[in-house]
Structure 1
Amino acid sequence: MNNEVKVTHTLADPSPYGLFGLAVITFVASTQKLGITTGVSGLIPWAIFLGCIPQFVAAIVDFKKDNVFGATVFGSFGLFWFAVAVVWLISVGVFGEDMKNTLDMKQFGVVCVAYLFLVVPLTFGAAEAHKVLFFIFIAVDVLLVAMALNYFGIAPKETQLVAGISELAAALIGFYGCAAGVLNKNLGRVVLPVGKPLGIFKK
């Protein structure tokens, strides 16, 4: 008789790691929109190493865990921040003056609209996960709308302020969500509550 030994590998929830990456880059980027810091050169490393990589890693793990929602969100925004970093590199002339001079930021506004087609429907899904995730999505919804309007030149001062505030809100809620995910799992009990699902869309 052959005794079969099955080895199982348990993958940890990557959400806190992905949320931390999201929180850091949105926190830093919000300071530029709010006029606390200036320029984008200092944002590029954080966009790549915190905005892109942690969220993309979280997406890969979520794909392996068959978490389509998490994989889609983290994967989409991991690549979003990598693309943002490249746009910023173009804007500061890293790829030459020709690319810098022909950069049309209205195209960035179009991207923000495109992401709304993803984020708005998934906001309903977030509502059935927990309230922390739902409020992050609401903040991101507002951020994308404000950024799109800003890059299209519509009320630039006002929309930049709204974008900065909503981005800061997303960051702070993201930090809380990260801490809750780590501590609640590590301590085996609810230390930082994330709120129950709204129970509106899912029966």
Structure 2
Amino acid sequence: MSTGNTQNVKITVADPSALGLVGLAMVTLVASSQKLGITTGVAFVLPWAIFLGAIAQLIASIYDFKHNNILGATTFGAYALFWFGVGTSWLIKLGVFGPALAATADPKQLAFAFIGYLIFSLFLTIGFMETNKVLFSILVLIDILLLCLAIDTYSANHTAHTIAAWSELIISLLSFYGSGAVVLNHHFGKVFLPVGKPFGIFK
């Protein structure tokens, strides 16, 4: 016989942002080495783009949705798909999907993809003003990176390429710091690595 009682079960998951940030940190570190001319080619950038840039951030996105954190979930999810897209574009350029497809690839189409992500990223940057200053700084640098990638991809601009390379490297370093801060601050139960307070403009 049914009693009509309803039992609610709450499943608690840990903050996934540390994983998402280390994924971003790793892919931007390896990718920036290529842009800065320290390394060459994208063959060994690809695994980090797919497994760290894409899959790690996608996992973080899924668990941020479970946290009802729409800003973090959308950000990690969108940039996970960004790295899937970039990785696939590199595969096309390398001829993995056949020489015919590689021969018809127009790099300027990537410039428009970067512009689209820049527009989206600007909205995210406003939201991250009310998280902490480390995350906000990462988003500002991502805005700069996307703008410079669009310019460089469309017109092969050396200055834009250089700015993009250094922006990507600094994104990596800040993301490593942000990831470490999430882990250690939670682990020690206190502010071990400060990340800066929100600006408090909109909230």
* Coarse TM-score class (shorter-chain normalised): over 0.9
CA distance, structure 2, for counterparts of residue 2 and residue 102 of structure 1: 64
Q: CA deviation at 1:65?
A: 1.4
Q: What is the letter of the counterpart of residue 111 of structure 2?
A: G
CA pair 2-187 structure 1, distance change in 2 beyond 3 A:
farther
TM score, norm. by length of structure 2: 0.95
Q: CA RMSD in A?
A: 1.5
| Aligned counterparts, 1:100-139, within 5 A | 100-139=102-141
Q: C-alpha distance in 1, partners of 2:181/2:92?
A: 37
Q: Which residue of 2 aligns with 1:18?
A: 20
Q: Would you say 1:40 and 2:67 are equivalent positions? A: no
Q: Which residue of 2 aligns with 1:168?
A: 169
Match of residue 62 from structure 1 = 64
Give the SS at the match of 1:152: helix
| AA at the equivalent of 1:24 | M
Structure 2's unaligned 5+ residue stretches are none
1:63 positional shift: 1.2
Measure the CA separation in 2 of the matches of 1:85 and 1:7: 39
Q: Deviations over 1:56-80 (max 9, x none)?
A: 0111111121111011100000010
Please list every run of at least 4 consecutive aligned residues from structure 1 whose deviation after the TM superposition is greater than 3 angstroms.
1-7
Compute the TM-score of the two structures, normalised by the length of structure 1.
0.95
Provide Cα deviations, 1:3-47, integer angstroms capped at 9, x if missing partner: 986542111111010000001001100011111111111111111
| SS of residue paired to 1:170 | helix
User: In structure 1, how many angstroms separate the alpha carbons of the residues matched to 2:34 and 2:62?
Assistant: 30
**Alignment correspondent of 1:181:** 182
Rounded Cα–Cα distance in structure 1 between residues aligned with 2:20 and 2:27: 11
Provide the aligned length of Structure 1 versus Structure 2.
201
Deviation of 1:199 after TM superposition, in Å, equals 1.5
* Equivalent AA in structure 2 for residue 65 of structure 1: H
2:172 partner letter: A
Q: Which deviations, in whole Å up to 9, do the C-alpha atoms of 1:75-130 show, x marking residues without a partner?
A: 00001001111111111111111111111111111001000111011111111100
Identity of aligned residues (%): 49
1:85 is the counterpart of 2:95: no
